[in-house]
Structure 1
């Protein structure tokens, strides 16, 4: 996810958070990530304590973070969940 967002990985991770995570209201929590979607399911959100990411229709996405190291740690969490959960 260095230069381009790997949309397939992102969707896999969101599904793994949803399936393996703990549900709290409309959110799912797994390995420090929180996953949820908007009311119609067209936009999904993944976030941790320092990074919030939205991914929507036509593969549009946005990251909200303060430091590059926070984004790197977030990407590592995504990779970890993608590799360690089926």
Structure 2
């Protein structure tokens, strides 16, 4: 499934989760969303129980989810994080 998403929004959500979330190993958890990077830091990952987003070099991204409801719920979580912190 293809979805358009603003790269600045994704990066802002990632940074807020990293700054305000609970760290466990190299992952951060905030409001049910986990944020982490690959070994070289070029790809970031944001995920909850139902949606996984990988966002990498040249603003390429991929969502993995089963239903549009899951995607919409995930977007709302990210929006809440960006607006609240």
Normalising by the smaller structure, the TM-score range is over 0.9
In the alignment, structure 1 segments of 5+ residues that lack a partner are: none
Aligned partner of 1:83 in structure 2 is: 83
Runs of 4+ in 1 over 4 A off after TM superposition: none
Deviations 1:11-56 (A, max 9, x none): 0110000000000111000000000000110000000000000000
Q: Structure 1 length normalisation: TM-score?
A: 0.94
Q: Deviations for 1:60-82, whole angstroms, at most 9, x for unmatched residues?
A: 00000011100000000110000
- The residue number in structure 2 matching 1:30 is 30
The number of residue pairs the alignment matches comes to 83
How much is the aligned-residue C-alpha RMSD, in angstroms? 0.7
Gaps of 5+ in 2: none
